[in-house]
């Protein structure tokens, strides 16, 4: 497609093709982030459950949660279960860091993050 556009010197079409390519690249990066996540939505708890690994992947796997309200208010997640998991995945660095901090402060306490925690 790009080769055909270059032959015709259609700058507008070339620009559109390059924009489409960039959009596809960004979308694939986001999907890779989401696919690598272990996060799932728990309707009964109204939260997204995820795992953290305080000692690396060879160590303990700790289960944590972040509630719907926090994902909507702090991370502007749209409505929908898939959107909540995606919001977690796209913001997992800051969410996981806070969950890790909570775990290290008290390893015996359940970790459930709320909007007031951010």
The model's pTM: 0.67
- The domain total for the chain is 2
User: Are 50 and 99 members of one domain?
Assistant: yes
H-run or E-run covering 117: none
Kindly tell me the sign of the dihedral angle through the C-alpha atoms of 41, 32, 37, 103. Answer: negative
26 in the same domain as 6:
yes
Same domain for 10 and 50? no
Q: What 3-state class would DSSP assign to 50?
A: strand
Domain ranges, residue 2:
1-36
In terms of Cα–Cα distance, which of 102, 104, 106, 105 is closest to 114? 102
The chain-wide mean pLDDT, for the chain, equals 83
For 55, the 3-state DSSP assignment is coil
The model's confidence at residue 80, banded by pLDDT at 50, 70 and 90, is confident
What is the pLDDT at residue 75?
95
Q: Does the pLDDT value for residue 15 go beyond 90?
A: no
Same domain assignment for residues 31 and 41: no
pLDDT at 35 over 80: no
Of residues 30 and 62, the one with the higher pLDDT is 62
pLDDT at 52: 96
Other residues' Cβ atoms within 10 Å of the Cβ of residue 95:
26
Please tell me the predicted confidence (pLDDT) of residue 110. Answer: 96
């Amino acid at each position: 497609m790009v080769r055909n556009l270059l032959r015709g010197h259609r700058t507008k079409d070339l620009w559109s093709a390059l924009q489409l390519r960039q959009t596809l690249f960004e979308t694939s990066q986001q999907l890779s982030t989401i696919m690598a996540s272990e996060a799932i939505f728990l309707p009964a708890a109204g939260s997204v459950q995820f795992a953290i690994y305080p000692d690396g992947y060879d160590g303990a796997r700790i289960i944590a949660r972040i509630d719907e309200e926090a994902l909507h208010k702090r991370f502007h997640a749209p409505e929908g279960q898939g959107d909540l998991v995606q919001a977690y995945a796209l913001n997992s660095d800051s969410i996981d860091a806070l969950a890790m901090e909570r775990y290290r402060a008290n390893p015996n306490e359940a970790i459930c993050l709320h909007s007031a925690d951010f």
